[in-house]
Chains A and B, each alone.
Chain A
Amino acid sequence: MNPMVRKELNLRMRERRGWVLPSLYLLTLGAVSALAYYISTDRGSYSELQGADIGVPMFLCVAYAQLSLLLLLAPIFSAGSLTIEKEQKTLAGLLTSLLTPFQIWWGKFAASLLFVMLLIVSGLPVLSIAFAFGGVGLWEVAMATVSTVVVLAAVSAIGLYWSSVFRRTVHATSVTYATVIAMTIVTFVVFIIAMSVHRGPGWDNISFGMKSPLYFNPIFFLTMGFASPRHLYPEWLRCLGVFGLLTLLAIGLTLWNLRKSGETA
């Protein structure tokens, strides 16, 4: 096992946030689930409601809440990964050891993503409450999970990139949050502005250029994952490609920075 992965996981689970964050995360998801149930059942007579009328909105609320919460948490784990080594002057020790820049990066990335995965896995029972009501199957849960993991892998890689650029954790975390905001809100606003110019009806009539900002949008990616299997192309697969490329680009740039980081070590 890569010693970096072992070290990172050991140290992370030793921190107070190692158990505080999962607890808060699950409490929030539970609250969202309860709220969704309350709103779904508050619309009319309980006897008129189908199970799917409760299950589907509850599932969607929890899935979007989960992605939003993890988009808020992922920068905390990734953006400080390399800056903390610079701040506590331990980066020189890593760079002069026989660990390669990729091993250092992989240790940091795997630890960040595994912590996020821990949250996702611990949230699966909450997400699966919807099964009890119906209207939601394994496919939807699997697609929500896969889309969320891909988005968070990209955000973690981007956080690590900013962590390799800056010397201070506060700067790297701020810029990572700015990037997340740009991906989730700015892309949506740009799309809305573009749509206000475009007057043709129907999603299929919107040009690729106009839709392209949305391919960077994590919420859009998750939404497209709820399509039936034969409708995953083009939108979901395009999002997958964009997030995959973002991840690869961030990895390449981080490795480049790590090789040149002797001055800040």
Chain B
Amino acid sequence: MIEVDQLVKTYNGTPALHGFHLSVAQGELFGLVGPNGAGKTTLIKILATLLEPSAGTVRIAGMEVGHNRAAVKQIVGYMPDQPGLYQDMRLREFLQFFADAFHVNRERQKAAIDRALERAELQDRQDAYVEELSFGLKQRLLLAKTLLHGPKLLLLDEPATGLDPIARLDLRRQLKELNANGVTILISSHILADLEDICTRVALISAGENAAGADGHEVIELAQPVSARVYEVEVAGPTDAAKAAAQSIPGINVISAEGSLLVIELRGGKAEAAALLRRLVNSGAEIVRFDYRSASLEERYQKAFGRPNA
């Protein structure tokens, strides 16, 4: 759905993107993470036809974005990082305007607007002014407006910023639903837990270039099982016996043993995990807790960029 190759964008000689490449398949829910100023918004603006690339190729659904703006706009829904709404419009009026602006068929308009209001759960407030809505409801309205013309690709730039936890959960649910209905989604966010929950893959971007994670990969696969899993083992008393037992198993790496907590990296699946647990119990250690812990996206982000996400 999205093919970006050797993309360069400069602002007055200062590069914002420098040789960036990206490939997003149809039906993916793809995340984009990187520090502030990494070039995420610039990339999304180029995909949304707002900016022209200085060099490189950008294709959406096989169409060169710069040469097929109208056709690209037909299939793309763009939600900017700073939500722009006409505060002095009524909700229905606002959606009506954008239905007209996106040439939504007159006969389908009422149904499309009703569905948008329903999706945003704002049917009861359709005659209210936009300015009367809370921030979370405004974001819902903006997403509903973005979906009015039935885009096949959604470009979302930091859509969860400023939302409360309930609104974030609601947004995640909506995005999963849309994705399940075949909408391809490219989303940039600083809230890594959100991306981890919904994305199939995440690309790292830093200083306008593709960045590699600790494993050397530029794209983190979130949907596929990883070969090395991390387990946390809590024991009653010292960890010495458990640590010795774990280390006696080939393919096991004891990451840390502090207090009563042992962190172990195990290569393999469920059978290997069961064998590890059996060995620990047989060593005489009193196991209080045995938990699987995946390397979170946040940890991978920290490994890639060296510091917590700003």
Assess A90 versus B86: contact at CB under 8 Å? Given A96-B50, A98-B102, A262-B51: yes
Which B residues between 143 and 164 are near A, CB-CB below 8 angstroms?
145, 149
* Distance from A157 Cβ to chain B, minimum over Cβ atoms (Å): 23
Interface string of A71-108 (1 = CB under 8 A from B): 00000000000000100111111111111000000000
With a CB–CB cut-off of 8 A, which chain A residues contact B84?
A: 85, 88-93
Nearest-neighbor residue (CB-CB) of B51 within chain A: A262
With a CB–CB cut-off of 8 A, which chain B residues contact A15?
A: 88
Which B residues between 184 and 220 are near A, CB-CB below 8 angstroms?
none
Size category of the A interface is 20 to 34
Verify B102–A89 contact, CB threshold 8 A.
Answer: no
Verify A3–B88 contact, CB threshold 8 A.
Answer: no
With a CB–CB cut-off of 8 A, which chain A residues contact B52?
A: 262
Give bound CA distance, A91 to B85, whole Å. Answer: 10
Give bound CA distance, A90 to B85, whole Å. Answer: 6
Interface flag for A263 (CB, 8 Å):
yes
Give which listed residue, B50, B73, B82, B97, contacts A7 with CB less than 8 A. Answer: B97
Interface flag for A265 (CB, 8 Å):
yes
* Distance from A26 Cβ to chain B, minimum over Cβ atoms (Å): 25
Nearest-neighbor residue (CB-CB) of B145 within chain A: A93
Interface flag for A14 (CB, 8 Å):
yes
The A-B contact count (CB < 8 A) is: 68
Interface size on B, residues (CB 8 A): 30
Interface flag for A11 (CB, 8 Å):
yes
Which A residues between 136 and 173 are near B, CB-CB below 8 angstroms?
none
Give bound CA distance, A265 to B84, whole Å. Answer: 10
Interface flag for A23 (CB, 8 Å):
no
Verify A96–B76 contact, CB threshold 8 A.
Answer: yes
Interface flag for A68 (CB, 8 Å):
no
With a CB–CB cut-off of 8 A, which chain A residues contact B87?
A: 88
Interface string of B32-54 (1 = CB under 8 A from A): 00000000000001001111100
Give which listed residue, B48, B85, B86, contacts A96 with CB less than 8 A. Answer: B48
Verify B97–A96 contact, CB threshold 8 A.
Answer: no
Verify B89–A98 contact, CB threshold 8 A.
Answer: no
With a CB–CB cut-off of 8 A, which chain B residues contact A95?
A: 49-50
9 closest Cβ pairs, A-B complex: A262-B50, A89-B84, A3-B100, A90-B84, A97-B101, A262-B51, A96-B78, A89-B82, A92-B80
- Supply 20 A–B pairs (Cβ within 8 Å), ascending by A: A3-B100, A4-B101, A7-B86, A11-B88, A11-B89, A14-B88, A89-B83, A90-B84, A90-B85, A90-B86, A93-B80, A96-B49, A96-B50, A96-B76, A98-B101, A98-B103, A262-B51, A263-B11, A263-B51, A265-B50
